[in-house]
């Protein structure tokens, strides 16, 4: 059994989840007909955008709050290939953090439901002067309060 990317602690709210459905396009495969490894960050992005927009912490929400969230760390585990025209899903899972950061796990599954790829990203919060925030900004703390009280599903 693999170790969780972001272990949960007692008292933390359940992770927030979204699932995006896709089909592998021709432009995403290499000459062997399998998805080129460099495409997976884009798949992660599909789920990250959907997750952010669904829960009110999307890129434009952050922009309006004058917060930027660059990727600090990305990790990808490749389990089995995806091929041209394969249907697949990307599950984005937002994990709780007390810090001024966004921890998202990703699980890609093929049409048979088998895990093909998993990974995660860590995004750090910065202000518009590119200084790291030590504390999450007010709008994000309000989001976390709603999450912790069970208002987000």
- List average pLDDT for each run of 10 residues in the chain, which is 153 residues long: 85 96 98 96 98 96 95 97 98 96 98 98 96 95 96 87
CA distance 25 to 45: 16
Could you give all domains of the chain from N- to C-terminal order, each with its CATH number? 16-148 (3.10.129.10)
CA distance 90 to 110: 9
CA distance 13 to 100: 17
CA distance 34 to 11: 42
């Amino acid at each position: 059994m693999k170790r969780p990317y972001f272990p949960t602690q007692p008292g933390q709210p359940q992770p927030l989840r979204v699932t995006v459905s896709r089909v592998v396009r021709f432009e995403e495969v290499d000459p062997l007909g399998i998805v080129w490894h460099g495409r997976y960050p884009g798949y992660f992005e599909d789920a990250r955008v959907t997750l952010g927009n669904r829960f009110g912490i999307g890129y434009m929400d952050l922009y309006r709050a004058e917060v930027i969230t660059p990727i600090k760390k990305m990790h990808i585990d490749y389990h089995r290939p995806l091929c041209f025209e394969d249907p697949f899903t990307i599950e984005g899972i937002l994990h709780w953090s007390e810090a001024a950061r966004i921890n998202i796990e990703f699980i890609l599954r093929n049409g048979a439901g088998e895990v093909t790829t998993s990974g995660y990203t860590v995004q750090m919060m910065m202000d518009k002067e590119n200084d790291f925030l030590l504390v999450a900004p007010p709008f994000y703390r309000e989001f976390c309060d709603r999450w912790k009280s069970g208002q987000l599903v």
